[in-house]
Amino acid sequence: MSVQSTTQATTMTIAEAARDALAEEMRRDATVWALGEDLAAGGIFGTYKGLIDEFGPQRIVSTPISESMIMNVGFGAALAGTRPVIEMRILDFALCAWDELINQIAKARFMFGGQTNVPLVVRLPQGIGRGYQAAQHSQSLEAWLVHMPGLVVLAPATAADEKGLLKSAIRCDDPVVMLDPKSLFASTGEVPAGNYTTPIGEARIAREGNDVTLVTWSSLLPTALDAAEKAGAAGISVEVVDLRSLWPWDRARVLASAARTKRVVVAHEAVLVGGFGAEISATITEEIGVPVARVGAPRIPVGYAPILENTYRVNADKILGAIQKITR
Amino acid sequence: MLRIRAFEQHARIGYDAGEIPGVVHLSIGQEAVAAGVCANLERDDYVASTHRGHGHCIAKGAHPTTMMAELFGKVTGTNKGKGGSMHIADFSVGMLGANGVVGGGIGIAVGAAQASRMLGKKNISVCFFGDGAVNRGPFLEGLNWSVVFNVPVLFVCEDNEFSAYTRASTTTAGKGATARAEAIGLETRAVDGNDVFAVYDAAHELISHIRGGKGPAFLYAPTYRLDGHTVFDKAPYRSTEEVEHHRENDPVAFLESRLRERGVETSQIEGMRAEARDEMLEAMDFARRAPLPVEHDAFLDVQIVGAPQ
């Protein structure tokens, strides 16, 4: 946190933390507004609950199911002096607006020769979520986004970071993609009191350890902590790094931890092949030559039936297996 | 219109001479739409344009000198040589960019207008697009959105008969763009897009409607693309006779004849033409002498946070 509060922290869900972040920023800055489907109803995860009452339909805009327009209206509005928060419901639906995000938003600053900033936030809740939603409602595509010059990519995993990073995202003058951890919206955590922000680009040590560094982010954090706990019981001390920002990512903190433990496991919910774990792995190898193991989903769509979905899922045992193998 | 025509002719010369490195889409034959619409706009009104956007830029007040430098890929260009013809933009005059994607400007114009209203401003947005865009999803989404939220935006469909290399009529079902706009509930007008006076009058009426808070509007302006889709398209998919027939309806020639009817001397018109030509020759000269970007420039303006190292 950039600002530590002296008053007491509150326990709240990630969805509540997200809502509070937006409300605080909308109170602070009259040019902040949100657009997306079902926002007047509070959004499908409750992340906009009650905001229509405070801010009205001009600033909490419930839109048609028109993804490319939601994205591009937000873009145009960012060019015209406002700071829109573009809600895409879930990441999978944003694929209907990929032209607007990738061809227009991400490139605008460069393409126009720096004539304009593009201060907007695109919210893309991603991952398997509550489960059994099948292939078009369960994807994790951070690798595509991190690949794209022009975008800032955030992936918080706790209530405190959801709030602090969303506030930073809204204040950022670049287009920020916020990969809300869909499966964790209802999970609770301590949120500091007061008006704090979480700095973009800083990883967090979620658990300290000495034998192996486990780098993870977003929905997989609780699973990673579970695996670290199990490894600890087996005598392996695991340091868990919650990356939080995927672009820019905290190379310094990851490399420092890796240099100390001499072993790294990178785990993400997304498909392993071409995943962002590969970038981290390659960086660690190139920079300090420390061995890295990767854990990710097989390169298959997410199936509906529980056994199919579980085949896709990265669980604590799979991470534990990688930890044991690399420390053997 | 003479300035747009002259700009386009000189862009062609620059391309043929190898001075303009990239693709250029010329709007020769379509000048009346840009001029007739933009003559109704104020500096703080917004325009979103297309890949064929030089005319819209000039009509909105962008400077041909910096525009030409952009086509030449020079650092003094509107976009520092980073965008070229298809992304030419001048935010200082409300020109929010040409666009390399058909229909890409529709949402931008709607969003800018919605933001303006949110900020309590009185300005409006105009979105130009071609006949090809009406078959893309954003056309439906944008028109519907504009009516749902009563956004102050004018959609201008500049139908030049060709969606790239294909006659638009062969790929468009139903009664066409205006009928689609009417079905969604926009105020619509259809005019001869080669008659700058008709375009001006219709746009004036629609823009008054929009500024009066009565909702978005749609202008259909059929015209004809006298050149190929790009500077390297010789347009073999249409006959010379067809093109020659359309040259008889050249909007610049039409304007000149109307001006003469109203008592403007030919010599005055020739004077204006020479002035436009000289302006563009100067723009070419400026562009030629302007410095090129350096390698390091490729790393600038990408983003502020997480910028390339």
Q: CB–CB of A104 and B301 under 8 A? A: no
CA atoms of B153 and B92, how far apart (whole Å): 19
For B223-241, write each residue's pLDDT tens digit: 999 999 999 999 999 999 9
If you search the block for the tokens 């997304």, which residue do you land on? A270
Known catalytic membership, residue A147: no
pLDDT, mean of residues A19-35: 98
Q: CB–CB of A72 and B108 under 8 A? A: yes
ipTM over 0.85: yes
Which chain A residue lies closest to B124 (C-alpha atoms)? A80
pLDDT, mean of residues A90-105: 98
CA atoms of A253 and A204, how far apart (whole Å): 8
Q: CB–CB of B144 and A66 under 8 A? A: yes
Contacts of A117 in chain B (CB under 8 A): 304
For B37-96, write each residue's pLDDT tens digit: 999 999 999 999 999 999 999 999 999 999 999 999 999 999 999 999 999 999 999 999
pLDDT, mean of residues B113-139: 97
Q: Length of chain B, please?
A: 309
What integer pLDDT is reported at residue A6 of this predicted model?
A: 54
> CA torsion sign, B83 to B84 to B86 to B88?
positive
Please name each of the domains of chain B with its CATH number.
2-290 (3.40.50.970)
Q: CB–CB of B144 and A64 under 8 A? A: yes
Residue A315 has pLDDT above 80, yes or no: yes
Contacts of A63 in chain B (CB under 8 A): 145
What integer pLDDT is reported at residue A280 of this predicted model?
A: 98
Distance from CA of B104 to the nearest CA of A (A): 8
Q: Which of A6-20, A32-46, A140-154, B278-292 has the lowest mean pLDDT?
A: A6-20
Contacts of B118 in chain A (CB under 8 A): 31, 33, 58-59, 77, 82
Contacts of B53 in chain A (CB under 8 A): none
Q: CB–CB of A69 and B119 under 8 A? A: no
CA atoms of B5 and B35, how far apart (whole Å): 11
Residue A49 has pLDDT above 60, yes or no: yes
Residue A325 has pLDDT above 80, yes or no: yes
> CA torsion sign, B103 to A121 to A67 to A306?
positive
For A177-204, write each residue's pLDDT tens digit: 999 999 999 999 999 999 999 999 999 9
Q: CB–CB of A64 and B148 under 8 A? A: yes
Do residues B20 and B74 touch, judged by C-beta distance below 8 A? no
For B143-169, write each residue's pLDDT tens digit: 999 999 999 999 999 999 999 999 999
CA atoms of A282 and A156, how far apart (whole Å): 23
For B206-219, write each residue's pLDDT tens digit: 999 999 999 999 99
Q: Report the residue from B96, B115, B301 with minimal CB separation from A82.
A: B115
Please name each of the domains of chain A with its CATH number.
10-191 (3.40.50.970), 204-327 (3.40.50.920)
> CA torsion sign, B48 to B149 to A74 to B142?
negative
Give the type of residue at A171: R
What integer pLDDT is reported at residue B309 of this predicted model?
A: 87
B120 touches chain A (CB under 8 A): no
pLDDT, mean of residues B253-268: 96
Do residues A154 and A165 touch, judged by C-beta distance below 8 A? yes
Query: pTM for the full model?
Result: 0.96
B97 touches chain A (CB under 8 A): yes
Six token digits for residue B225: 């693309």
Q: CB–CB of A64 and B145 under 8 A? A: yes
What integer pLDDT is reported at residue A298 of this predicted model?
A: 98
Q: Which residues contact B268 (CB under 8 A, 6 or more apart)?
A: none
Six token digits for residue A187: 């999970």
Q: Report the residue from B48, B97, B115 with minimal CB separation from A81.
A: B115
Among candidate residues A59, A137, A163, A263, the one labeled active-site is A137
Q: Report the residue from B115, B301, B304 with minimal CB separation from A77.
A: B115
Q: How do A292-297 and A264-271 pair as beta strands?
A: parallel
Which chain B residue lies closest to A35 (C-alpha atoms)? B111
Q: CB–CB of B306 and A174 under 8 A? A: yes
